[in-house]
Amino acid sequence: MHINLFRYRESLPSAVQLPRLEYSYADMSDIMSEEMLDIHYSKLHQNYINQYNKIQAQKKMTQLVYNPQTEEEILLLFFLGGHLNHSLFWQSFHPSSSKHTPSKRLSTLLSNSFSEGLLNSILNVVTSNKIRGSGWIWLAYNESTELLYLDITMNQDMLSVPVLLNIDMWEHAYFIQYKVDKIDYINKLYSIINWENASNRLDKILDGEE
């Protein structure tokens, strides 16, 4: 399933559902313990879905509200963000080594975009405390400069530009296994980035399909 964040600008789904993981809990256990992944995926992500569907069943909103005013609008945007952000997160990483090599197109763009390397750039975001509390790190594409860059959003805010992958920096994403060691968490995640998926997303962006 391709996660296209932009289509939700025009039409909100009446209901959403939990996406199927492309790997088993056991396959990911070296990076994400089975306990942590189960809580994150089947409990926390599912709760965002349940809450979104509950509000939609009552309100039946059809368009995304960028400046929510009512409590229902604020919550709907929060729960939709929780669902979409996590849906992309599950696709951003994969335990299979066959998915760990970026395409030539993406590899060139990464080299041109991050002089110190992507991993070091991500670690700099983490160590500089740009995310205060809970949030996300995004690998995004700038259509003006035609380069990649890192951005952050807080809580469950969604990024409204083309993105290749994201990293969950909420405590529930790492605390059970990594405690407060965010650096180890990032290093481990980086080793299993699903570059195949990121490459496909880049192709769609550059080919005008995203």
Q: pLDDT-based confidence at 109, cuts 50/70/90?
A: very high
| CATH hierarchy code of domain 98-206 | 3.55.40.20
pLDDT tens profile 156-200: 999 989 999 999 999 999 999 999 999 999 999 999 999 999 999
Distance CA 54, CA 134 (A): 24
Would you state the pLDDT for residue 4?
A: 63
pLDDT tens profile 134-145: 999 999 999 999
Residues written for the chain: 210
Q: Could you tell me if 157 and 165 are in contact, meaning their C-beta atoms sit under 8 angstroms apart?
A: no
* Domain ranges (residues) in the chain: 5-95, 98-206
Q: What are the distances in angstroms from CA 169 to CA 115, 120, 161, 195, 208?
A: 24, 16, 19, 20, 30
